[in-house]
Every structure is written in structure tokens, then in C-alpha cells.
Amino acid sequence: MYDVLIVGAGPAGSTLARMIGEKYRVLLVDKRFNPANRSIRSKCCGGLLAPDAQHILGTLGLALPRDILVGPQIFKVRAIDLQSGLDKYYQRFYINLDRDKFDHWLISLLPQSVETKFGKHLVRIEPGNPIRVHLHGDNRSETLECRVLVGADGAASAVRRQLFTSAATPRSYLAIQEWFPTTEIMPYFSAIFEPAITDFYSWIIPKENYLIMGAALPPGKSARHRYSRLKQALNNYGFNLEDSIKQESALVLRPTGPGQIITGRNQVLLIGEAAGWISPSSAEGLSYAFTSALFAYQSLNEGLVAPAERYQKIARSLSRNISNKLIKSSLMYCAPSRRAIMASGLFTMRVENTL
């Protein structure tokens, strides 16, 4: 029997496994990694490490190896309100990453004592003491037992879906991203607001020899049509988004109230996006993945009995952070207040020689 079984080896799950792996018998399960050739199915992500995420990595005692970085490193955001034509720059420091390499690197930090089952997915959970977890992969099913189960399985969390059926869920969006080859050096990340396309936002991120264009769209039949309309509008605006080499998509959550964050119950914890930890204003989720993993570690480090209650208490500061982001979000995504703030020039940055 495992002391702690973690489902999901993204930033949240691999970080928690690294921290508790020497104290307890830990199993880390993930469907995305292929153990045969050590490859990984890409996580659709912008791969920008925002200041909060940089801060928590420092707290965790980590520094990034050079080969994870991709150019350019970014010092400003270009905010574009397509309908009004308002177009402003704001100072913000991002580390630009190769997300696949980043996830691999986090896994490479696991202590030897952590057992892994990659290429396996969680099928079913039988609550109880112990908790029984049914996995499937490689044409084989198996059942394992654990004292504590951690759902670190991202936006579409099966742990959350199966064990917290009556919980309020964050609003979900379909994020679509395309990769366009470019020779242009774009020294900023663009955040695009177009309420006729989505009530969330869209982005263009330079990534070495590519521009990634993405949008978080209301899910449903119209999503791909909305995406095409946006691409057309951005081409008309002056971006060069032609002949993409790859399109990818993923679910992304957007909490609309703090009650939608579910940290767990009794012997089950949820961390990272599975819990709903993600910024409702920017969809930045990496800092929350690391911080919630740290808080879950602090709870588990005290013992394995009822860790969810301790984790919930420790994570109150993170809930307050989400509440603050909800206020920011209500200002950013209300067209009149956004335009008033942009037009005022408050916090904007003068750019002399835009490439």
C-alpha cells in the first residue's frame, strides 16, 4: 500500500512528489508521459513564467537550467482592445519557457524513492480506508491502495469529477493555440480583448522562431469559428499569422467565485488546476500549481491523518489571492472600465522603438 498516491505529474504533482518522496512511500501516476521512449504529449500552454511563479520557484529553492529557456525573454505586455483600438504597453517580467522541457525537468528532480507509473490513467476511485485506485494503460488494468490520494490531474480532473460531484465548478473555456513560423523579433507578449469573440482573452506569444496565437473561448460548436474570426481580425490588425505548423487545444478553468476552489476532504487532496487554482484574470496557473503543492506538502509533512483540513487552512492565503484576482478580473473584463483605465495611461510604459 502507498502512503500517498498522486495522480498527475504536471508542475503541481511532480513538485509535491519531490517534496514528500523521501518521507513517505509515494506513487506518481500520469497518462501523458511515455516511459518507453521518455517522450511526453505536450501540454498546451503559453509557457510564460510570471513574477509570482518566479517568486515561488525561488521559495522552493529552484533555479532554472538554461536549456529550458526560449527566446525572447519578455519585459512588457502589449494590451490591445480590438473594438476601441486602444493599444498600450505595460511593464511585466516573464521568463519564456519550453513547457515540455520544463515538465521533464521537474520530473528529473524526483528522488529515487518516488515510484512512477507513466502511460497509465486513473479510471475509477473507491473511497474508503484504504482508498482503492483503478488504473489502466498498456492494455492492462490494475488496482492499487493508498492512505492519501492527491488529485493533481489538471483542469479536467477525474479525481475531482468522481469524488466531489456536488461541488461548484469553475467556468471552463476551450483554449485553442496555433504555432506560426516567424523571422520577426517580437519583444512583447500581447493580450487581446475582443468581447465579440470571448469574454476572456486571447494572446500572441513569441517563442523562438514561432509566434503562438491562442484564445480562451466559450466551449461549444462555435469555438473554432470564433477562433478563425479572431485570427482574421488580428491579421487585419497587422500581425502576420499565416501557415501554422501546429494547432493544439486544452480545457482551461476560470474560477468566478472562491467557493469553486475545492482543496479536498479527509484523505483526499486536490492541488493545482484540479482544485481550481488558476488566475481568473490571466489564466496564469503555474504559480498556483507550485504554491498549492507547497501547502499540501506542509500539511502532509505533519502526518497522514486528515491532511485535507490542515491543507485547507494553510491555503487560505491562496484563496484570498484568488478573491483579489476576481476583483481585478471584474475591472479588466468590463469593457467600459478596461477602456477607461487604458485611456487614462495609468501604469502604461512608453516604448521608443517598437520592432
Ligand X SMILES: Cc1cc2nc3c(=O)[nH]c(=O)nc-3n(C[C@H](O)[C@H](O)[C@H](O)COP(=O)(O)OP(=O)(O)OC[C@H]3O[C@@H](n4cnc5c(N)ncnc54)[C@H](O)[C@@H]3O)c2cc1C
Closest distance to ligand X from the beta carbon of 169 (Å): 15
Instruction: Estimate to the nearest angstrom the gap between the alpha carbon of 11 and the chain centroid.
Output: 8
For 29, which DSSP code? E
**Half-sphere CA count of 299, side-chain side, radius 13 A:** 31
C-alpha cell at 246: 501546429
Query: Please, which residue, 135 or 342, has the CB nearer to ligand X?
Result: 135
Query: Please, which residue, 23 or 161, has the CB nearer to ligand X?
Result: 161
Query: Please, which residue, 19 or 122, has the CB nearer to ligand X?
Result: 122
Instruction: Estimate to the nearest angstrom the gap between the alpha carbon of 274 and the chain centroid.
Output: 10
Closest distance to ligand X from the beta carbon of 217 (Å): 11
Region of residue 151 (left: phi > 0; alpha: psi -120 to 50; beta: else): beta
Closest distance to ligand X from the beta carbon of 319 (Å): 16
From CA 320, how far away is CA 290, in angstroms rounded? 16
Beta carbons within 8 Å of 330's beta carbon, 6+ residues apart: none
Structure-derived torsion over alpha carbons of residues 38, 44, 47, 49, reported in degrees to the nearest 10: -100
Closest distance to ligand X from the beta carbon of 197 (Å): 15
Closest distance to ligand X from the beta carbon of 92 (Å): 12
Residue nearest to ligand X (CB): 285
Query: Please, which residue, 58 or 345, has the CB nearer to ligand X?
Result: 58
Query: According to the 3-state scheme, what is the secondary structure of 281-327?
Result: CCCCCHHHHHHHHHHHHHHHHCCCCCHHHHHHHHCHHHHHHHHHHHH
Query: Please, which residue, 53 or 332, has the CB nearer to ligand X?
Result: 53
Binding site for ligand X (CB under 6 A): 7-13, 29-32, 43-48, 50, 53, 121-122, 152-154, 158, 175, 177, 214, 250, 252, 272-274, 278, 283-286, 289
Question: Which residue reads 508521459 in cell numbers?
Answer: 33
Closest distance to ligand X from the beta carbon of 242 (Å): 21
Closest distance to ligand X from the beta carbon of 113 (Å): 21
Structural element, H or E, at residue 125: strand 121-126
Query: Please, which residue, 205 or 342, has the CB nearer to ligand X?
Result: 205
Query: Please, which residue, 126 or 305, has the CB nearer to ligand X?
Result: 126
